[in-house]
């Protein structure tokens, strides 16, 4: 499989109209594809798809059963962002809280903590930490094993999207800037800010080995080489603002305001 970050390999695009339900013929769709029909945010982990919306609910769907609804969790406030791990579903909500749920339990709420002074706009998690960004311009780290919040960082802007892997965190803010952080032993350290040419909200970001993907309400999706500063190798313009992106197994999915889902696959 060729490197999707190479602009020569980004020409194989398939445009898919968004439907309310997954087609019954598609029993095993690629996980974690962004889709504008889900109310505010959603994320997939294996066969489980979780969606959250302004109706203050989390809804659970079974991808192996053609997208059949399997559960509903009331959150008490609008759900703005999600992260799904094998053992926990993490939600950031408008009421300034980060909440953890066990989707297999009859009483799914595991813990809810208030880490910020305003709405939680983005978050990312692994088995050790939950990192969240808020409209109050803070970034917080929650230690899952110690069950406590750690030191917060205050920025001059607020984060809207986040990608976390290993000891590295990348995020996009409301001014079109990218931020990079390191995390070691629970300590989050700002490293750099980068201007990659976005002129509005950075609504999605994904960092993988050798590539960095960003999208924005400025109607563009960009692919960069994640050096310092990132080097943009491809720009994909859209007619309307781009709401989010996801990269999984070499496949790039983009959700835009055009009510469609675009799938970009590497050429064979």
CATH code, domain carrying 113: 2.130.10.10
- Does a structural domain hold residue 1? no
Render pLDDT for 178-216 as a digit per residue (tens, 0 to 9): 999 999 999 999 999 999 999 999 999 999 888 999 999
The more confident residue out of 268 and 193 is 193
23: confidence class by pLDDT, cuts 50, 70, 90: very low
- Does a structural domain hold residue 227? yes
Decide if 159 contacts 171 (C-beta within 8 A).
yes
Decide if 65 contacts 71 (C-beta within 8 A).
no
Beta bridge partners of 206: 213
Of 110-119, 131-140, 243-252, 255-264, which range is least confident?
Answer: 255-264
Determine the Cα–Cα distance for residues 89 and 42; give it in Å rounded to an integer: 11
Give SS3 for 50.
strand
Decide if 191 contacts 230 (C-beta within 8 A).
no
Q: What is the mean pLDDT of residues 134-145?
A: 97
Q: Could you tell me the maximum CA-CA distance found in the chain, to the nearest angstrom?
A: 50
Q: Number of folded domains in the chain? A: 1
Decide if 97 contacts 112 (C-beta within 8 A).
yes
User: Which domain range does residue 192 map to?
Assistant: 7-264
Place of tokens 């302004």: 54
If you count them, how many residues does the chain have?
A: 268
């Amino acid at each position: 499989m060729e490197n999707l970050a190479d602009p020569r390999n980004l020409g194989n695009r398939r445009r898919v109209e968004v439907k309310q339900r997954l087609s019954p013929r598609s029993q095993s769709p690629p996980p974690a594809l962004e889709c504008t029909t889900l109310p505010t945010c959603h994320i997939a982990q294996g066969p489980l798809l979780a969606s959250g919306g302004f109706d203050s609910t989390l809804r659970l769907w079974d991808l192996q059963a053609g997208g059949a609804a399997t559960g509903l969790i009331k959150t008490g406030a609008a759900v703005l962002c999600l992260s799904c791990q094998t053992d926990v579903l993490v939600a950031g909500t408008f009421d300034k809280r980060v909440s953890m749920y066990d989707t297999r339990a009859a009483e799914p709420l595991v813990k809810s903590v208030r880490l910020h002074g305003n709405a939680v706009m983005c978050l990312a998690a692994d088995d050790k930490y939950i990192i969240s960004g808020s409209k109050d311009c803070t970034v917080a780290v929650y230690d899952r094993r110690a069950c406590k919040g750690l030191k917060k960082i205050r920025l001059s802007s607020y984060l809207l999207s986040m990608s976390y892997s290993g000891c590295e965190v990348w995020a996009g803010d409301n001014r079109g800037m990218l931020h990079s952080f390191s995390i070691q032993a629970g300590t989050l350290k700002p490293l750099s800010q980068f201007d990659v040419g976005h002129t509005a909200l950075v609504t999605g970001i994904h960092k993988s080995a050798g590539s960095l993907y960003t999208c924005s309400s400025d109607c563009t999706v960009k692919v960069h080489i994640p050096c310092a500063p990132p080097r943009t190798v491809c720009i994909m313009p859209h007619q309307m603002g781009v709401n989010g992106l996801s990269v999984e197994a070499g496949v790039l999915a983009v959700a835009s305001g055009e009510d469609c889902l675009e799938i970009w696959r590497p050429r064979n």
